[in-house]
Each structure stands twice: as structure tokens, then as C-alpha cells.
Amino acid sequence: MRTYVMTILISLGVLSAPLCVAQSVTASEKRQTAESLGKAMMERERAILDAIAKKDLAKFKAELATDFRGVYPSGIYDVSEEEKTFGQMQLSAYTFSDMHFSLPNPDTLVLTYKLDMKGSVGGQDVSGISFVSSVWIKEKGKWLTLLHTESPAEKTK
């Protein structure tokens, strides 16, 4: 009986060893995939800001998921509210920095970064530094923004 139990335990150990190796490779690949996909989605974030600057509503809306939500100091917006506000947005310059990417599952990417921009909404100056997060999801085979938040940095005296 003892030999039988030992045989089972050894077999389980031998069978599970490749799974442990596969998990560590998968974690490394996951980081590489997040980095690669994150850089591609940062280009899409840039395309969204360029669409705002160029007043290209169609291109802007094409990047938003059906259930999109934007969270800003002025409130929480869905796609239709973003569309209403779009014409009031003026963007003259922006830069990204301090970018980080996370891939919690194969169909979800989380971006965080610092945005320094010059612009206004409805005539109100919104220039300055904001801390941004965007959640991108793969919807019907296409990557789209599900959530976008902007938190203005505190003004220094």
C-alpha cells in the first residue's frame, strides 16, 4: 500500500513539474504581451487625442466601446455625453509620460500614465497635468476603450 501511495505522489510530482515551468514562462510572456499591447494602445490613445484636436468625431467614437464611461472632474460620461461635449473640446498640445501596462486577462488591458496637455472644454481651461487610466477591452475582435479617467494633479503653490 505504501509503495502504491508513493508511486502516485511521485507521478503527481513528475506530471505537475511541467505545469510549474509553463506558468513561469506564461507570466514572462504575459508581461511582454502587456508591454507590446500597451505601446500599441498608447498609440490609439494618441489617435483619440489627435481626433479631438482635429475635430474628427467619427474617429473619436470609433475607439469607444458600446458601454464606454469617461470619469472626469466634471462628471461621468457615456458615449452620447462624450459626443455632446466633443464640439466644445479644444486641444492644442499634449505629451505622455510614466506609462504602465497591465494585462489582467487576454481581452483586457489597463493603461496608466501622466498626461500634460493644453486645452479647454466649453471655454474653461483644462490645461495641466492629469493622471490617466484607460481600460481597453477586446470587443468582437477589436480593441476599444471601455473606461477612461482623468484626475488632475494637485496644483503646487
Query: Where in the chain are the domains?
Result: 2-152
> What percentage of the chain has pLDDT greater than the value 90?
71
What lies within 8 Å, CB to CB, of 96 at 6+ separation is: 42, 45, 46, 113, 114, 115
- pLDDT tens per residue across span 46-97: 999 999 999 999 999 999 999 999 999 999 999 999 999 999 999 999 999 9
- pLDDT tens per residue across span 10-22: 454 544 444 443 4
Q: Of 124, 105, 111, which Cα lies nearest the Cα of 63?
A: 111
Between 2 and 41, the more confident residue is 41
**pLDDT at residue 20, rounded to an integer:** 44
Residue range 2-152 in CATH 3.10.450.50: yes
